[in-house]
Structure 1
Amino acid sequence: MKNTCLDILEVTDQSTRRIPVEISRKPYEIIIGKGILHRIGEELNKAGIKKGVKILVVTNSDVAEPYSDLFIKSLKESGYEPTLLIIKAGESQKNPSSISLIHDAAFAAKLERGSLMIAFGGGVVGDMTGFAAATWLRGVSVVQVPTTLLAMVDASIGGKTGVNHKGGKNLIGAFHQPKLVLIDPLTLKTLPVREFRAGMAEVIKYAVIGDTKLFSLLEKHNDLSDLIELDYETLEEIISRSCSSKANIVALDEHESGIRAILNYGHTLGHAIETLCGYGTWLHGEAVSIGMVAIGELAIQLGSWSEDDANRQKALLKKAGLPTTWPKLNIEDVCQSLLGDKKVKEGKICFIIPKKIGVVGIKDDVNISSIKECLSRISHLD
C-alpha cells in the first residue's frame, strides 16, 4: 500500500534538507524538514537570532487556527518575545491598507531595528510581510515560513516583496531578502486542494524553464492534482528541486537585471488575467498555468518550439488539475494590461519564450500584432 503524505502527518524527526541561497550580501538558507514547525524557535537560535528579540508574526486566519498556538509556544520556549497579528486571507487583501495594519502592529509591539518579522502563511502573507519589514524603520529582518506549496517553491525565496495596485499586480514593492526560509511540508495537510494545484503550476514552471529531470519525474505520475496522490519522498523531492532552481537563479541575478527574468515564465500573461478578471477570481498559480499554455502557443507561432513540447507541457498542467483555457477577455484590454506590466522596457513587452523542455529565452521584441494574433487564436480553442 502506498505511504502517502497524509499517512505520516505526525512524523517530527530532525532530518532536514538545507539549500543555500548564495547571494553576495547576506546569503541565507532554505531549510526543509517535516515537523520543523515544532522547533521553529530552535532553528532561529541556530541561525544566530538572539534570545529576547521581539518578533512580529504575521499570519491569516486559515493558518492561525491550526498552527499559531504551536508556533508561538515554540518561540516563547526558545526565549523570544512574539506578538501575533492575524490578517484576512486572500489576494484582495494584498494592498497598501494591509501594510498599514502590519506597520501599526509593529509600532504597538515596539519593534526595533534588531527585531524580526515572520511571514507565516502563503504567498500573500509572505509578500506583504516582506514589504512591511523592508519599510519599517528603513528595514528590519524577515523570516519566511511558507505554508502553501506555491509559497514554498516560489514566493518565499528571492526577496521579492510587495502589494498590488489597481492598475496591476505587484506594482508596489521592494527587494528585501529573508534571513531564513523554513519549510515544513506537513503544513500542506491543511491546504485546500485548489491551492495545492496552484502551487503545482510553479513547480511545472521550474521543470519547463530548466529542469528536465523534474519534468520527467512529474510525467511519471498519473495524478499531480492532490497531495494524497504523492508519497512524502516525492513531495520533498519536488519541493527541494524547485527551491534549488530558484536559489541558483537568484544567486546569479538578485535584482532581476538579467537571467532571473526567466522565473517570470507564464507570469506576464498570467498577471494580465489576474488584473482584468479581478484579484481572487483566479488563484495566482491558475493564472500562471493559463499563461504558460498561452505563451507556448505564441512560441509555436514564432517558430520557437515544437507543438509536441507544447502538448507535453499542457498535459502536465491538466494532470495537476490546472486550467489551460484562455478566459473570455477583450484583446485590446489584454494588450493595454501587458503594456502596464512592470517588466516593460522602453515600450517593449518582455516575454519568456520556451525553446524546448528545459530551455527558455528572453525575448523583448514581440510586436503587438503577433500578440493579438495569438490571443485571437487561443480565445477560440477549447
Structure 2
Amino acid sequence: MKLTNVKIITPYKEFKGTIEIEKGRIKRISEEIEEGENLEGMIAVPGFIDIHTHGIGGYDFTSWNNKDEFLRNLLEMKKLYVKHGVTTFLPTTVTLPRENLMEACRAIGEIYDDAIPGIHLEGPYINEKYAGAQDPRYIRIPDIKEVRECLELSKGKVKTITVAPEKNLDFIKYLSDLGIHPSVGHTDADYETAAKAFLYGADRTTHLFNAMRPFHHRDPGVILASINFSKYIEIIPDFIHIDKEVIKFLLNYVDVNRLVAITDSIIATGLNDGYYTLGKTIITVRGGKALTKEGKLAGSTLTMDNAFKNLVSLRDLKDAVLMTSLNPALAVGLYDRGSLEPGKRADIVILDESLRINRVYVKGEIVEP
C-alpha cells in the first residue's frame, strides 16, 4: 500500500512524497509522487504516544472495583485515545493502596496489545508535601520488594515509576537496574539531591514545574537540576499547567529532543464540567480545568491532538512531532515507533491543513474513522 502526494514530517526534514507500507511497517519513504492513494493537501505524522495519561471519556486507571473493570476501562479507553491520534499509551496510576496497585499490575500483565506496552506508576513513593491531587494516605517509603512484585505480576511491563529521590537515592539505582525508567517527580528535592538522582540512573522528569519544589534564585532545586541533567523532561502543553511563555523558554534553552509532551489526562477528558474522581480524591472540572477542593490542579482534560496543535503554535511541525511521538517513545525504550522512517511501525496520523485528524492508521490499517 502507498500513501502519496502527502506532506511527510520526518525527524530530519519535511517534504511531499510517498509512504509505502508492507506487513504493518513502513517499507520505504520517497520524495517522489507515485501511484497510490492520493492525499493531496494532507499531512502525515507518526501516531502520537502518551506515556502519562490517567483517563479519558469516563474511564480511568486510578479507581476501579476489580481487575475486570480495570481491563474494560483499558480497552474502552484505547478506542477513545485513537480518535485523538494516540496509537501507543502507558496507562498511568496514582498513589494507591498496595492491593489496588497489585491489581493494576496484574491486569496489565494480562494485556497482549502492543499499543499498550506497559504501565506508568505515578507513585506511591512520592513526597507528601508535593502530592498534588494524590491521596497522601497511601504514600509510602520506597519498597524494592513491592516493585519486584509489581514487575512479576505485570510480566515485566512496569515501564516507568515516578519517585521523589529524597526518599531514598539508592532506590533510583534499584529501579534502573531492573530496567525501569525512574522519573523524578512529586518531589521536594533540592538541587544536589536531584542532580544525584540523575547520576544514579533517573532518566526522566515528571511534568516539570508541577508538583515539585519551586525554582528560586537561591534554591534552584529539582527544576534547574532537571533542565541541566534530565535526559527527558515531561511537559503538559495545555497552557494551564505551564504558561505558554515558559514552554517557549524551554524550547529556546533546552534541546527539543529532550522534551516529552504528555496529557496527564483524567476521567473527565472529553466530558462536560462537573464532579469526578482521581484515585480516591474528588475533583471538580470547570471550563476544562480540573481542581481539588483545595484548589490544586488535578491532572488535565488535554488530548494529544490539541497538545500537538498547541506546540505547533509555538514552534513548527517537526518539533511538535518530536515532542508528541519520537521523544516519548525513546523515553520508555520503544524503538520501533514514534517516527516516519523505514522499518518503523506504520502508525500514522493523517491531518488536514488545519491540523484536524482525517484518519489514523495502526500498523498500516485504518482504525479511525
TM-score, normalised to structure 2, is: 0.29
More strand by share: 2
More helix by share: 1
Q: Relative CO higher for 1 or 2, CA cutoff 8 Å, sep ≥ 6?
A: 2
